[in-house]
Amino acid sequence: MLDVGCRRDPFVAYGRDIGIESEGFDFSEWAISNSYSRCKKEWIRIHDATQRWPYPDRKFDLVVVLDLFEHMYIDDIEFVTNEMYRCTSKWVFLQIAVSGSGDLQGNTSYMLSKDSPVPVELESCTVAGHVTVQPESFWHKKLNRSNWILRKDIVNQFCSIVPNDVIANWLLNSIIVMEKI
């Protein structure tokens, strides 16, 4: 499993706890330097998702991308999506903040470019680094690739198994599972 944008990396540690060979990366030196004590340094690294990922094609069975895409400028989404699919052989699990899903992003859909200033009316949304906020249908189109299918049935099964209080924030947003066919 690869956790992209792993933060302090509880998912890598939890994966390792149950025998899943897990790795992760994040662009934040602070997050990687202050990872959870159970997470060994060789399991995680500093890397910018907008640069070619340091893994061979299809190295991972599963790529997990939680709360990252809304932090990506529209200019980088295609590249990051391509890298995500390049590095996995079978599954992608995503959680993305979408418009209309919570107080932070409100009902507004927007996409910012790297070189554009933040409009005053979006300053409260972008304080948390949310620079691309769109409805779920936008993300379905962006993630659409030949030989990949959307698995809503797996999302429904996941949501029925995991207690709502554990994934309360995820339920306000979009959970997407893609499978390579």
Q: Which CATH architecture has domain 48-180?
A: 3-Layer(aba) Sandwich (3.40)
What local confidence, expressed as pLDDT, does residue 9 receive? 72
Position 121 confidence tier, pLDDT thresholds 50, 70, 90: confident
Using CA atoms, how far apart are residues 22 and 141, in angstroms rounded to an integer? Answer: 28
Position 13 confidence tier, pLDDT thresholds 50, 70, 90: confident
Mean pLDDT (whole number) for 91-111: 78
In which element (H, E) is residue 148 found?
strand 148-150
Q: Which residue has the higher pLDDT, 157 or 33?
A: 157
CB proximity list for 43: less than 8 A, separation 6 or greater:
9, 12, 13, 16, 22, 23, 24
Say if residue 37's pLDDT is above 80: no
Q: Which residue has the higher pLDDT, 41 or 72?
A: 72
In which element (H, E) is residue 87 found?
helix 74-87
